[in-house]
Chain A
Amino acid sequence: MTESTGKLVVLCIRLAVPAAMAMFCLVFLYQILPMSELSSFYPKLLIVLLLAVFVPFLVVSELRAYRAGTFDAAEVQPKTHSVEWGVMAVLVGLLAAWTLLFGRIGFFLGSLLVFWGMALTLMRVSLRNLAKLAIVSLVFMAFVMFLFSYLLEIPLPTSAWGL
Chain B
Amino acid sequence: MDFETILKGLELLFSGWGMVYLVCGLLMGFIVGVLPGLDSVNGAALVLPFSFTMQPEGALLLIAGIYAGNSYAGSVPAILINVPGSTGAAATSFDGYPMALRGEGLRAINIARISSAVGGVVAALLVMPLMMPLSSIAIRFQSPEMALVGLLSLTVIGSVVGGSVSKGLASVIFGLLLASVAASPETGTPRFSMGFHELYEEFPFVPVTIGVFAFTQMFAFAANLGGEATSSSGLSSEERKRMLRDRTAASHSPFDGMLESFRYVRTLMRSTLLGLGIGILPGIGTSVSNFISYGMARRASKDPSQFGRGTPEGVVASEAADNAVAVGTVVPTFILGIPGSGTAALMLAAILIHGWQPGPKLMLDHGVEIYSVVWGSLFASILIVPIAMIVARPLLWFARLPREWLVPPVLLMSLIGAYALRNSLFDVALALIFGVIGIAMRLAGYPVVPMILGVIIGPLIEQNLIRSLVLSQFSIGIFFESATCKVLWCIFALVVLGTIYRVVERHGQATSSMGQ
* Chain A residues within CB distance 8 Å of chain B: 13-14, 16-18, 20-21, 24-25, 27-28, 31-32, 35-36, 38-43, 46-47, 49-50, 54-55, 57-58, 61, 70, 75-76, 78-80, 82-85, 87-88, 91-92, 95-96, 98-99, 102-103, 107, 111, 114-115, 118-119, 122-123, 136-137, 140, 144, 148, 152-156
Contacts and interface: CB of A to CB of B under 8 A. Distances in A.
A122 B177 contact: no
B506 to A, nearest CB: 12
Contacts of B496: none
B409 A50 contact: no
Interface stretch (B81-89, B113-121, B273-281, B462-470): B462-470
Contacts, number: 173
Does more than half of chain A's interface fall in helix, strand or loop, or is it mixed? Answer: helix
Contacts of A14: 444-445
B222 A49 contact: no
A2 to B, nearest CB: 20
Interface of B: 50, 53, 166-167, 169-170, 173-174, 176-177, 180-181, 184, 186-187, 189, 191-192, 215, 218-219, 222-227, 402-405, 407-409, 411-413, 415-416, 419-420, 423, 425, 428-429, 432, 435-437, 439-441, 443-446, 462, 465-466, 469-470, 510, 514
Given A17-B446, A91-B411, A42 B514 contact: no
A87 B428 CA distance: 20
Contact of A17 (B180, B440, B514): B440
Nearest to A84: B223
Contact of A80 (B169, B177, B409, B443): B443
A43 to B, nearest CB: 4
A70 B510 contact: yes
Contacts of B166: 54, 57-58, 61
B290 to A, nearest CB: 22
Contacts of A27: 192
A54 B435 CA distance: 23
A95 B411 contact: yes
B429 A99 contact: yes
A103 B187 CA distance: 36
B422 to A, nearest CB: 11
B443 A13 contact: yes
B105 to A, nearest CB: 29
Contacts of B167: 58
Contacts of A38: 184, 186-187, 466, 470
Contacts of A42: 180, 184, 462, 465-466
Contact of A103 (B170, B180, B425, B466): B425
Nearest to B403: A122
9 contacts: A13-B444, A17-B441, A32-B192, A36-B189, A43-B191, A50-B170, A55-B170, A91-B218, A114-B412
